[in-house]
Chain A
Amino acid sequence: EPEVTQTPSHQVTQMGQEVILRCVPISNHLYFYWYRQILGQKVEFLVSFYNNEISEKSEIFDDQFSVERPDGSNFTLKIRSTKLEDSAMYFCASRAPSSYEQYFGPGTRLTVT
């Protein structure tokens, strides 16, 4: 069964450093999402992406964040200058155009020290 993959599984970085989280969505999916989950809290939406542009973003997704689909398979989330409060699990999700079901990747645990 096709699945969303994410790399790395765990990233440790120092405050102020840039990180790039990578995702490979399911191949025939056209809608892509990033969510995050701070430990012990709910899953929160960051950004959605469709047709090579951001379709929606939340208040969390400020100027420190950016997304890119550099080729036909990868979907990346960049945090330009990480803060302690960016420590969280980051989930990528994708959805087919004919379905409302979002498939989540296994997540990247980001730890900012």
Chain B
Amino acid sequence: GQNIDQPTEMTATEGAIVQINCTYQTSGFNGLFWYQQHAGEAPTFLSYNVLDGLEEKGRFSSFLSRSKGYSYLLLKELQMKDSASYLCAWSSGNTPLVFGKGTRLSVIA
């Protein structure tokens, strides 16, 4: 079967670093995506990992271990506007995205 697990909620302090974990079980895996979704809005693309290792993009980094079925999203220098849901999703190339339930991150002062 296909399954994606991520924590439901997390809270972190402005200026801090937070790591959001995602584990998945699937066949035909190609790549792991992270999307950000503010309440009532569309998901917006953050990152895509197809190879093992860390991809860094400004304040956001994403890590993938294919052998462990594990990924994380790392957010540095947290800002209040980073309060949102973070969606982990996988795809096997041309197939549609399979989303997890998302992690709701609250950034507090």
Residues of A within 8 A of B (CB): 31, 33, 35, 41-45, 48, 50, 55-56, 89, 91, 100-107
Residue B1, interface by CB 8 Å: no
Residue of B37, B43, B101 ringed by the most chain A CB atoms within 10 A: B43
Query: B31: nearest residue on chain A (CB-CB)?
Result: A100
Residue of B42, B45, B50, B95 ringed by the most chain A CB atoms within 10 A: B42
- The count of residues in chain B whose C-beta lies closer than 8 Å to any C-beta of chain A is 25
Contacting pair B43 A104 (CB below 8 A): yes
Docked complex Cα distance between A100 and B36 (Å): 16
Contacting pair A44 B99 (CB below 8 A): yes
> Could you tell me the distance in whole angstroms from the C-beta of A61 to the nearest C-beta in chain B?
11
**15 more A-B residue pairs beyond the given contacts A33-B96, A43-B97, with a C-beta to C-beta distance below 8 A:** A35-B97, A42-B101, A43-B87, A43-B89, A44-B99, A45-B96, A48-B95, A56-B95, A89-B40, A91-B42, A100-B33, A100-B91, A100-B93, A104-B43, A107-B42
Contacting pair B42 A106 (CB below 8 A): yes
Docked complex Cα distance between A56 and B92 (Å): 13
Contacting pair A42 B42 (CB below 8 A): no
Contacting pair A104 B44 (CB below 8 A): yes
9 shortest interchain CB distances as A-B pairs: A104-B42, A45-B96, A43-B99, A42-B101, A42-B99, A104-B43, A48-B96, A101-B45, A106-B42
Residue B48, interface by CB 8 Å: yes
Chain B, range 10-48, C-beta contacts under 8 Å to A: 30-31, 33, 37, 40-45, 48
Which of these, A31, A42, A44, A100, contacts B48 with CB under 8 Å? A100
Q: What A residues does B40 contact at CB under 8 A? A: 89
Residue B98, interface by CB 8 Å: yes
Query: B44: nearest residue on chain A (CB-CB)?
Result: A104
Contacting pair A106 B87 (CB below 8 A): no
Contacting pair B94 A42 (CB below 8 A): no
Contacting pair B96 A42 (CB below 8 A): no
Q: What B residues does A89 contact at CB under 8 A? A: 40
Which of these, A31, A42, A45, contacts B100 with CB under 8 Å? A42
Contacting pair B96 A106 (CB below 8 A): no
